[in-house]
Amino acid sequence: MSGADIAFVKMHGCGNDYIVLDGVARPELAAGDAPWRAKACEMCDRRTGIGADGVIVVSRGEGADDVRAEVVNSDGSPGGMCGNGIRMVAKLAIERGYVRTDRMTVVMGGVGWRKIGVEAERGADGIVRRARADMGRPELEAARVPVETASLERAGEHCWAVRSGGVGHVMTFVSMGNPHAVMFVDATPGAPEVTRLGAMLERHDAFPERMNVHWARVVEPRIVEVATWERGAVMTMACGTGA
């Protein structure tokens, strides 16, 4: 890397793609005033930039087998947790020798910076093929997601009715270190509808930190089809914490 150039790795988990920056090799990339932060939107632009749902910068953790990862959304806002991103971070850290074993801890930005245990599986060639992350327990208390429920109507246990554009939407709010609103539906909406509704619901007045919005259709007991609108980004192909 020299001048304004930034070395990066383009990675994805189930199509949820990120620009990953190595702040272990170049610690200045993890600094709060790193120049790339002002250009995150340009970097993520799919027509004129690299194209991604966001940027992840990886840096050293406190322990020998810890790494720290910060997520920045494609609009430049803080991303908090990212389930698919954690797996990308594990792959980079292991294959570049930043941790000693295939078990590691990723400290990722969110409510209080969560510590996530990750276990990777490598092939005979040493390449990480899979990674499993323990995302911890979901938080269902609306105030801790956070959601301001004073203007909402309760629609059942952990369910609330949210009105937007004159239409009511029944949602369950969940935090995995970032806020999610899940709607169980009979038919998954198409991209135009997800984009229209997602853009409105993300910024509803009841959501002080904005919201990731999901439409979930139970196909059969062990299969759920989901359409996702991610806060600070757009409609994405997958969302690990949303899953």
**Distance from C-alpha of 155 to C-alpha of 149, rounded to nearest angstrom:** 12
Q: Is 160 left (phi over 0), alpha (psi -120 to 50) or beta?
A: beta
Cβ pair 62, 105 in contact under 8 A: no
Q: Do the bridges between strand 153-156 and strand 159-164 make them parallel or antiparallel, or are there none, so unpaired?
A: antiparallel
- Three-state secondary-structure class, residue 75: coil
Query: What are the Cα distances from residue 188, in Å, to 161, 177, 179?
Result: 19, 25, 21
| E strand segments, 6-110 | 9-13, 16-22, 54-60, 66-73, 103-108
**Distance from C-alpha of 104 to C-alpha of 133, rounded to nearest angstrom:** 10
Q: Based on the residue annotation, tell me whether 239 is a catalytic residue of this protein.
A: yes
Q: Based on the residue annotation, tell me whether 82 is a catalytic residue of this protein.
A: yes
Cβ pair 131, 118 in contact under 8 A: yes
DSSP per-residue codes, 195-214: HHHHHHHHT-TT-TT--EEE
DSSP per-residue codes, 35-63: GGGGGHHHHH-TTTSS--SEEEEEEE-SS
What positions carry a catalytic annotation? 82, 239
